[in-house]
Amino acid sequence: MSVSLLQLIEGRLGDHSPGRKLLRRLMKRSAVAMILQVRQGELNILMIKRAEREGDPWSGHMAFPGGRMDKTDAHGFAVAVRETEEEVGLTLGPADECIGRLSDINARPHKGAFGMAVSPFVFRLEREVEFSPNHEVAEVVWVPLEFLLDTNNRQEMVWEFKGAKIPMPCYFYGKRRIWGLSLMMLDELMDLVEGQNPRRKRWRRG
């Protein structure tokens, strides 16, 4: 099942036309790596829990390895590869195939008139690896994709933002809460697997 699910994702990504922001040349840029691996018969996706850091808007959140584009980065793919090595000690080489990418998401940072475009790149990992997280990462976690595809595991949280209380979808994997931008990326990936599910509603335009 897991191998066929991975093959299905590869095929759908091959036919996928990810959305790109019209003003991306004027936007700040960042990228993440969404890494898939079959582990003990289950297809898993690699996530990290960010360390608690003052001033970091994503402090303590579940996320994918990634970060902002530097002047030395040629493109978003290079950002995803560099940041994965820096954050978790995993060097994505030619054997770790990038099987596609998903749509840009506007992260809407506090600074910058046009926001920040986040580009997700999807990789297939077929080798055993050991991680060495840096100071930005509190934990490295493999999350079963079938857990996320089961909408019975989908819950609702309340996000307090500028005095407003906003209902938001989320998952709890153990005590780890998956929501926000990371969930938007996962939702697009899951839509590729099974089409749009009425129990997995679109909750924000990217």
- pLDDT given for residue 27 in this prediction: 86
Q: Which of 64-73, 123-132, 158-167, 186-195 has the lowest mean pLDDT?
A: 158-167
Mean pLDDT of 102-125: 85
Q: Which residues pair with 170 in a beta bridge?
A: 155
Neighbouring residues of 35: CB distance < 8 A, sequence distance ≥ 6: 45, 46, 64, 65, 84, 90, 92, 96, 122, 123, 124, 125
Residue 173: predicted pLDDT: 96
Residue 103 phi, psi dihedral angles, 5° rounding: -70, 150
Query: pLDDT tens-digit profile of 85-95?
Result: 999 999 999 99
Q: Is residue 120 over pLDDT 90?
A: yes
Supply the pLDDT for residue 112: 60
- What pLDDT band is residue 164 in, cutting at 50, 70 and 90? confident
Instruction: Look at strands 28-39 and 42-50 and give their pairing.
Output: antiparallel
pLDDT value, residue 184: 95
So where are the chain's domains?
2-148
CATH number for the segment(s) 2-148: 3.90.79.10
- At 58 the pLDDT is 63
Tens-digit pLDDT profile for residues 18-69: 998 777 777 889 999 999 999 999 999 999 999 987 766 567 789 999 999 9
Band of pLDDT at residue 123, cut at 50, 70 and 90: very high
pLDDT at 157 over 80: yes
Cα–Cα dist 10/18, whole Å: 14
